[in-house]
Amino acid sequence: MSPGARCLACWDRTAPGVLAQSVLFIAIFYGIAVIWERDLGIVHKLLVSPASRMALVLGKALSAGVRGLPQAAIVYLLAWLLGVKIDWQPVSLAGVAVAVTLGAAAFATFSLIVACIVKTRERFMGIGQILTMPLFFASNAVYPISMMPEWLKVAARLNPLTYEVDAMRTLMVVGGRSLYGIGLDFVVLAAITLALTSLASRLYPNLAR
């Protein structure tokens, strides 16, 4: 294989990881916006509204997911310009959009949980910086899990980003193969998002205290 072909194959593999990284980096700092809302008194107004806590958190999770879609469009454009073999079938595009939305929602609600606990911007920024890189590198976004040491393989399998990347790699790139099965990828992402949303809805009133 020529150097150019190897480089193109490398981009085919890493493009889904770049997209997942972009979504992660946006969503993981979503909690800082919630802390700003608390400081501006918006959280207090939301808490006295008739809307349920679950609905409030789901709305924020969905908004984070929608914010991830423009990132996906930009990564798709750059990947196409670099010659990556993108799968443009409508079903594949819709699947990637769902994976992006679920991944962003999961990490945004996780960010919201952290914000409800630390409650200050300074503490949140420090914790967000600490969490971002371990989550990214303890996944299959850059390196195959088969190349990792055993302890890191365990961490990667517990990392929701791994399943997001696995789904994207299957749907985004022509010839992509899922390591765990595309169905399991979406089930894990949906289950984690639901569990984190439930926990965040219980902790959300703590912001106003």
4 pLDDT above the threshold of 60: no
Domain ranges, ordered by start, for the chain: 13-208
47 pLDDT above the threshold of 90: no
The CA dihedral of 150, 181, 184, 60, to the nearest 10 degrees, is 90
- For 150-155, the CB contacts below 8 A with 24+ separation are none
What does the DSSP 8-state code read for residue 119?
-
pLDDT at 13: 66
What does the DSSP 8-state code read for residue 140?
T
Quick: pLDDT tens for 161-185: 999 999 998 999 888 788 888 999 9
Rounded mean pLDDT of 188-193? Answer: 94
DSSP helix/strand/coil, 128: helix
Copy the structure tokens of residue 180: 């765990």
pLDDT at 6: 45
Contacts of 78 (CB under 8 A, 6+ apart): none
This prediction has a pTM of: 0.86
Rounded mean pLDDT of 74-82? Answer: 89
93 pLDDT above the threshold of 90: yes
d(CA 54, CA 127): 25
Quick: pLDDT tens for 117-149: 887 888 888 887 888 888 888 888 887 888 888
CB atoms within 10 A of CB 129: 11
DSSP helix/strand/coil, 173: strand
